[in-house]
């Protein structure tokens, strides 16, 4: 009667504190430059070493520029954070994939593509989008700096057992509808707090038919519904994705691992604290119109009116509309945009570049559009070039930048100017998220590509 989540959680319980949290063993800790400095400082202050250094992987991603990575970082704050991570990794004997290392990239892209993230693992990182790794059938979640220190010192963490939720999506996604649209649709229906306190398992035909990249996108956005994390049970798609990757098991170890991974599924009679169902046929390409990821709608739809809203909801909604420069009830189709961003731990994988390239092929970037196409890792960059996508994109007027978090958040050079509209494949559209005063419209790579070649918000199905 166990859920997939409970099977993995129970296998990692070290002890249950009486009337308190669970001491949970952690298989993999990922560290980037933003949330780890204070944790390492805490170890030094207490004279502690890392308990299991071979289970910890470090790489900079938030502050890395997406050009001239072979040169010193110009911004002194970003440079200090990146340099500090390198020093901490060296001092504590940890694996570090620094800038220009072929294994560098966004940590949530590199983990799965290198075979560091595997089914049945418990995985943490000082970053909320750690939920991404749950796509491979792992229990993965973001933690705070003090918890990073806890894991560095003990390879364990104190956690309260979350509630469980299963979201089942029946049927298959339609033409031009991607995993990103599925996630934005769920958020539009459940709001950004609809899964608060839960660990979500995604199930149903629509989820099963997603590629591994699609599942990674879906789980990445779990946190934007308020969930502690999201996961998909491993299956043949998962095994095919992992096989042969650098850190994946080999030979007899592979056979043994797969035999275990096949047991990682919720039992037929498993009971979840909450069950939710959606129909894939109801979903069209999505776009956000507001200042949180739950403020999304089908691309042919209209922004909601305030008629059915409470006074408190109305105040918040109108503030959001004022910031975005939109009006209740209007359509977004045909609205001019200024920037297009393809990338982030949400949509910076090879499949996302294939989708973008497939739509812009034979067309040209609109003259007034500034487009940032940023691979999630050097491995993705290499795949883009091996497949000739760089040539397709180049002929359409686009250039490939160097890997990093880029315009997902305003912690590096790639900032959207105040008042400008950006169709972005990232995960958050909060006020100022992509730069002070920037206006973000979250969308899939196909919707981003359609905007890039037309210069306005466009239904990608018209161009496919």
8 Å CB contact between 136 and 7: no
Rounded Cα gap, residues 406 and 402, in angstroms? 9
- Whether the per-residue pLDDT at 458 is higher than 90: the answer is yes
Give the architecture (CATH level 2) of 286-462. Answer: 2-Layer Sandwich (3.30)
Percent of the chain with pLDDT over 90: 100
Q: How confident is the model at residue 76 (pLDDT cuts 50, 70, 90)?
A: very high
Q: Which helix H or strand E contains 447, and what residues bound it?
A: helix 445-454
Rounded Cα gap, residues 453 and 47, in angstroms? 56
- Whether the per-residue pLDDT at 204 is higher than 90: the answer is yes
| pLDDT confidence of residue 152 | 98
Start and end residues for every CATH 3.30.499.10 domain found in the chain: 1-284, 286-462
Count of CB atoms within 10 A of residue 209's CB? 14
| 132, 246, 282, 386, 403 from 442: Cα distances, Å | 17, 33, 19, 29, 20
- Whether the per-residue pLDDT at 384 is higher than 90: the answer is yes
| pLDDT confidence of residue 200 | 98
Tally the C-alpha atoms within 13 A of residue 391's C-alpha that lie toward its C-beta. Answer: 4
Mean pLDDT of the 362-382 span: 98
Rounded Cα gap, residues 162 and 169, in angstroms? 22
- Whether the per-residue pLDDT at 367 is higher than 90: the answer is yes
User: What are the tens digits of pLDDT across the range 242-300?
Assistant: 999 999 999 999 999 999 999 999 999 999 999 999 999 999 999 999 999 999 999 99
Strand 22-25 versus strand 13-16 pairing type: antiparallel
CATH of 1-284, one of 3.40.50.12240, 3.40.30.10, 3.30.499.10, 2.40.30.10: 3.30.499.10
Q: Report residue 190 as tokens.
A: 């459940």
Nearest to 111 by CA among 103, 100, 102, 120: 103
Mean of per-residue pLDDT scores for the chain: 97
- Whether the per-residue pLDDT at 27 is higher than 90: the answer is yes
Nearest to 222 by CA among 351, 79, 400, 345: 345
| pLDDT confidence of residue 1 | 87
Instruction: Name beta bridge partners: 439.
Output: 421
8 Å CB contact between 273 and 259: no
Find where tokens 């315009």 sit. Answer: 407
User: What are the tens digits of pLDDT across the range 186-203?
Assistant: 999 999 999 999 999 999
Q: Report residue 335 as tokens.
A: 């609205």
| pLDDT confidence of residue 173 | 98
Rounded Cα gap, residues 31 and 152, in angstroms? 10
Report pTM.
0.98
User: What are the tens digits of pLDDT across the range 394-433?
Assistant: 999 999 999 999 999 989 999 999 999 999 999 999 999 9
312 Ramachandran zone, left/alpha/beta (phi>0; psi -120 to 50): alpha
Mean pLDDT of the 321-344 span: 98
Strands (E) in 55-162, as ranges, are 56-58, 95-96, 122-125, 139-142, 156-159
> Coil, strand or helix: which one is 295?
coil
């Amino acid at each position: 009667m166990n859920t997939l989540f409970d099977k993995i959680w129970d296998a990692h319980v070290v002890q249950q504190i009486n009337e308190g949290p669970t001491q949970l063993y952690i298989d993999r800790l990922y560290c980037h430059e933003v949330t780890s400095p204070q944790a390492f400082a805490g170890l030094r202050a207490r004279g502690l070493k890392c308990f299991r250094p071979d289970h910890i992987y470090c790489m900079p991603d938030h502050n890395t520029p997406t050009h001239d990575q072979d040169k010193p970082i110009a911004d002194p704050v970003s440079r200090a954070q990146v340099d500090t991570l390198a020093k901490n990794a060296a001092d504590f004997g940890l694996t570090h994939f620094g800038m220009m290392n072929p294994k560098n990239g966004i940590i949530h892209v590199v983990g799965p593509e290198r075979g560091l993230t595997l089914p049945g693992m418990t995985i943490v990182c000082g970053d909320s989008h750690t939920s991404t790794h749950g796509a491979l059938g792992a229990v993965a979640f973001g933690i705070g700096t003090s918890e990073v220190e806890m894991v560095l010192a003990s390879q364990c963490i104190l956690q309260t057992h979350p509630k469980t939720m299963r979201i089942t999506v029946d049927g298959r996604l339609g033409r031009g509808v991607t995993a990103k649209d599925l996630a934005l649709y769920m958020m539009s229906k459940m709001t950004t707090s609809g899964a608060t306190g839960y660990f979500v398992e995604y199930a149903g035909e629509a989820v099963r038919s997603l590629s591994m990249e699609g599942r990674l996108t879906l789980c990445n956005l779990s946190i934007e519904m308020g969930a502690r994390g999201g996961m998909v049970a491993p299956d043949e798609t998962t095994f095919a994705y992992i096989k042969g990757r650098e850190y994946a098991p080999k030979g007899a170890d592979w056979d043994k691992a797969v035999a275990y991974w096949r047991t990682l599924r919720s039992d037929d009679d498993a009971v979840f604290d909450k069950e939710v169902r959606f129909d894939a046929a109801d979903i069209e390409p999505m776009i956000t119109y507001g200042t949180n990821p739950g403020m999304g709608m089908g691309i042919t739809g209209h922004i909601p009116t305030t008629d059915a809203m409470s006074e408190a909801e109305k105040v918040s909604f109108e503030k959001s509309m004022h910031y975005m420069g939109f009006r209740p009830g209007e359509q977004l189709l045909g609205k001019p945009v200024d920037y297009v961003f393809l990338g982030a731990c949400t949509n910076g994988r090879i499949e996302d570049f294939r989708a973008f390239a497939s739509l812009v092929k034979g067309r040209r970037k609109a003259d007034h559009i500034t487009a940032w196409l940023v691979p999630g890792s050097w491995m993705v960059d290499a795949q883009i070039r091996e497949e000739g996508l760089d040539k397709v994109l180049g002929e359409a007027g686009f250039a490939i930048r160097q890997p990093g978090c880029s315009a997902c958040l305003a912690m590096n050079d790639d900032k959207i100017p105040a008042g400008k509209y950006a169709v972005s494949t990232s995960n958050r559209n909060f006020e100022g998220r992509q730069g002070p005063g920037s206006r973000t419209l979250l969308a899939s790579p196909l919707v981003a590509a359609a905007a890039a070649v037309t210069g306005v918000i466009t239904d990608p199905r018209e161009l496919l």
